[in-house]
Structure 1
Amino acid sequence: MSVKASAKSIWDFRRGIATARVLTQLGVDHGVSVDNMLRHTGITRALLDDPKGEIEAHQEVQLIRNLINALPHIPTLGLQAGTRYHVTTYGLWGYAVMSSPTLGSGVGMASRMLNLTFSLTINDIEQLGDLIQSSFHSDHLPPDVRQFILDRDRAAVITLQREILGHPLPYRAIHMRRAEPALDMVEAYTNLFGIRPMFGQARDCALFETALMQEKLPQADPHTAALCEQMCRKLVDARKTRTGVAAAVRDRLMRTPGHIPDMEEIAAEMKITSRTLRRHLTAEGATFRALLEEVRSTLAEELMASASLTHGEIAERLGYADVTTFIEAFRRWKGMPPSEFRRTNGLTTQAARIPRRRFVTR
């Protein structure tokens, strides 16, 4: 699949309103009015406040154009925008990324997330011997907004990496097609990437060691993890409200993405025995198994709908040993296998929006 042939299908899709809120707030913080930010975009204040709202790619491009035109004296505007796209900006995708077992899985998930939510550049990941090359293609974008979007999307990737890793990714090299800018902009790039970029290169890309892809992800940033926990709690609360010990247990089940603790572990954290915990839950008309099923069932459905994860990826993030066990559990919850549930509810994976990742040893 060539970049040229697939460009429109990959980037020109409806996206969540969160990206418009990020850009508008950046303008407001620099003294630009909301009305000026939204001019000619077709985005209303009501839509901006609608958490389920969506916009077209061309509307986001116009919003970016308004921001650039209002603040032409700030060359770092794109970088500033990118650092405002946090893991939690993407809803359940944030949970999916943070619960990835390795950096490779997280990079792949983050790449898919960018292409499914707000990215206007096209990301391509390629293995070149002992290096991974992550490229950003932008020739399909209008020239007047191209550099801003490149800066925004690359800074957003750095922000995601730091939040899921807890530290900057050690890059071998950063390549940029643009000519070398003024010193203050070079310093801004260097501070962002942790290494001075090489300008006037053949492509916009970043290079890092292939071995890093196998590293296990550490505990996510506590603040980001807490926000994701709150998001998941609201999601599950919308289905069924819990109180007392049952609520505490259910909240704990959602606290650490990628690791769902068992009853013994939770009881130990509560400084009681598992037998005592079971007795408290019984008194409230609940069981540990039912709470676990409740959390897994809700998150599984939402990860299908909001994150378009495969069954294997969902099983991994919900603590199942293998995909077969997850499929059996899903059949128990919904009365049908997940594949049938997807078809019935129109929840197909959106692979058409994801550029093919090439892994070629050179």
Structure 2
Amino acid sequence: MSSWEWRRSVTSSAVLVEVAQARGVGSAEILRGTGIDAEVLADPVGEITAAQELALVRNLVTRFDDLPGLGADAGHRNRITMHGVFGLAVMSSPTILAALATMVRHIGLSTSLSRPWHEIRGGEVLLCVDDSELPADLRPFLFERDLAAAVVNYVLIVGAKPPLIRVEAARGMAARIAPILENYEVPITDGADHHVLVLDAAELDQPMPMASPLSAEQFDRECAELLERRGLRKGVAGAVRELLMRRLTGRVSQEEVAAGLNLSLRTMRRRLAEEGTSYRQLCSETYGSLAEDLLSTGLTVEDVAFRMGYSGAPSFSNAFKQWRGVSPGRFARNLAHGHRASVPQ
């Protein structure tokens, strides 16, 4: 499954169609080839895949020759209240910093398709944004959209200018985003691997105007549940497990798995680490459980080895010992006596 096959609200896509229509391009043209039905954009609970939204973004960017400011227009049209429970979770957070953490945690429910995280360093909070997994030709538009949406909604919710100290833009995008911040006198430089928005930590300690801690906790749970239903919360680890199960071989390389998920090996490893696991651990869990299930049906070690793509029982036995700490023969004998071997933690 593509890493972009998780579902999204139609809200952001409906805004993209508005942007096109404001420039004289009809919805039929801008939706061509995306697989998005125009009627679903009018459904308040309508959903499409992230891949479909990216196809729509590409149509818009291509149609207007990647016009600078186009993404900013889309961002300025976005309101946090358009994103349902996500908006409620952010607005009811006890402090601005807590709101930032909520936004980062549930970013898949917002306009953004990038991967953010935040770090606290002394008197500064660094909001980092990694868009390296996005198609290269769409990154300028999408960064414009995300930054403009963040700025306009901060001003609307907090009633003050964003507490930005400086912005470091990746891949030469400083000039592209400068117009969005021109009224705030924020230094902008070109950075390296990812975008960094440096914020004043003292200002982020301020309470949110509509703070409601109990409500924020409830909305936070609802956001997590919604991400789960849309297929995003399983994360990279879930996608790796699915791919491993389809390959049915203990010898698939990490490089092949990363390529199958449209990720670089470095990015896949980092994402798995962020989710508290590793490729080796996932192999152990996935293939170990599959081997156990096959052995429990009464198949011989040789049969299971063949079904799992091994050249013979010895190589399979070695792998099983690594996964479960016992040989498959011993595991089968334990089953015959009514218990499974314990799995080392």
Residue of 81, 88, 92 corresponding to 1:88 = 81
Equivalent residue runs for 1:16-55 within 5 Å: 16-55=9-48
Q: What is residue 136 of structure 2 aligned with on the other side?
A: 143
Number of residue equivalences: 237
Letter in 2 for 1:198: T
Q: Distance in 2 between matches of 1:107 and 1:71?
A: 33
* Contact 1:24-1:37 at 8 Å conserved across structures: yes
Secondary structure (helix, strand or coil) at the match of 2:197 reads strand
Q: What is residue 110 of structure 1 aligned with on the other side?
A: 103
Normalization by structure 1: what TM-score?
Answer: 0.57
Q: What is residue 290 of structure 2 aligned with on the other side?
A: none
Shift of 1:304: 6.9
Q: Confirm whether residue 214 of structure 1 aligns to residue 205 of structure 2.
A: yes
Residue of 220, 223, 233 corresponding to 1:307 = 223
Query: Could you say if the C-alpha distance between residues 123 and 186 of structure 1 is closer, same or farther in structure 2, counting changes exceeding 3 Å?
Result: closer
Q: What is residue 98 of structure 1 aligned with on the other side?
A: 91
Q: What is residue 119 of structure 1 aligned with on the other side?
A: 112
Query: Could you say if the C-alpha distance between residues 300 and 197 of structure 1 is closer, same or farther in structure 2, counting changes exceeding 3 Å?
Result: closer
Letter in 2 for 1:307: C
Q: Distance in 2 between matches of 1:171 and 1:89?
A: 25
Q: Distance in 2 between matches of 1:49 and 1:348?
A: 19
Query: Could you say if the C-alpha distance between residues 305 and 24 of structure 1 is closer, same or farther in structure 2, counting changes exceeding 3 Å?
Result: farther
* Contact 2:163-2:203 at 8 Å conserved across structures: no
* Contact 2:126-2:199 at 8 Å conserved across structures: yes
Q: What is residue 58 of structure 1 aligned with on the other side?
A: 51
Secondary structure (helix, strand or coil) at the match of 2:189 reads coil
Q: What is residue 190 of structure 1 aligned with on the other side?
A: 181
Query: Could you say if the C-alpha distance between residues 304 and 121 of structure 1 is closer, same or farther in structure 2, counting changes exceeding 3 Å?
Result: closer
Q: Distance in 1 between matches of 2:212 and 2:57?
A: 35
Query: Could you say if the C-alpha distance between residues 214 and 350 of structure 1 is closer, same or farther in structure 2, counting changes exceeding 3 Å?
Result: farther
Secondary structure (helix, strand or coil) at the match of 1:135 reads strand
Secondary structure (helix, strand or coil) at the match of 1:123 reads strand
Shift of 1:165: 1.2
Select the structure of larger CA radius of gyration.
Answer: 2
Letter in 2 for 1:160: N
Residue of 152, 156, 165 corresponding to 2:158 = 165
* Contact 1:22-1:84 at 8 Å conserved across structures: yes
Q: Distance in 2 between matches of 1:196 and 1:89?
A: 30
For the aligned residue pairs, the C-alpha RMSD in angstroms reads 3.3
Query: Could you say if the C-alpha distance between residues 56 and 109 of structure 1 is closer, same or farther in structure 2, counting changes exceeding 3 Å?
Result: same
Runs in 1 of length 4+ with deviation above 4 angstroms? 346-357
Query: Could you say if the C-alpha distance between residues 187 and 105 of structure 1 is closer, same or farther in structure 2, counting changes exceeding 3 Å?
Result: closer
Secondary structure (helix, strand or coil) at the match of 1:207 reads strand
**Identical-pair percentage:** 27
Q: What is residue 325 of structure 1 aligned with on the other side?
A: none
* Contact 2:6-2:232 at 8 Å conserved across structures: no
Q: What is residue 212 of structure 2 aligned with on the other side?
A: 258
Query: Could you say if the C-alpha distance between residues 347 and 71 of structure 1 is closer, same or farther in structure 2, counting changes exceeding 3 Å?
Result: closer
Shift of 1:118: 3.6
* Contact 2:155-2:162 at 8 Å conserved across structures: yes
Q: Distance in 2 between matches of 1:39 and 1:216?
A: 45
* Contact 1:168-1:194 at 8 Å conserved across structures: no
Query: Could you say if the C-alpha distance between residues 177 and 349 of structure 1 is closer, same or farther in structure 2, counting changes exceeding 3 Å?
Result: closer
**Which segments of 5 or more consecutive residues in structure 1 lack a partner in the other structure?**
1-7, 220-256, 261-295, 310-341, 358-362
Letter in 2 for 1:209: D
Deviates more, 1:50-59 or 1:105-114: 105-114
* Contact 2:6-2:231 at 8 Å conserved across structures: no
Residue of 71, 74, 79 corresponding to 2:64 = 71
* Contact 2:165-2:187 at 8 Å conserved across structures: no
Secondary structure (helix, strand or coil) at the match of 1:31 reads coil
Query: Could you say if the C-alpha distance between residues 351 and 56 of structure 1 is closer, same or farther in structure 2, counting changes exceeding 3 Å?
Result: closer
Normalization by structure 2: what TM-score?
Answer: 0.60
Q: What is residue 302 of structure 2 aligned with on the other side?
A: none
* Contact 2:30-2:56 at 8 Å conserved across structures: yes
Shift of 1:130: 2.1
Q: Distance in 2 between matches of 1:259 and 1:22?
A: 31
* Contact 1:80-1:152 at 8 Å conserved across structures: yes
Shift of 1:209: 2.1
**Which segments of 5 or more consecutive residues in structure 2 lack a partner in the other structure?**
237-270, 276-345
Deviations 1:151-183 (A, max 9, x none): 21222222332232111222111001233666x
Deviations 1:242-270 (A, max 9, x none): xxxxxxxxxxxxxxx6299xxxxxxxxxx
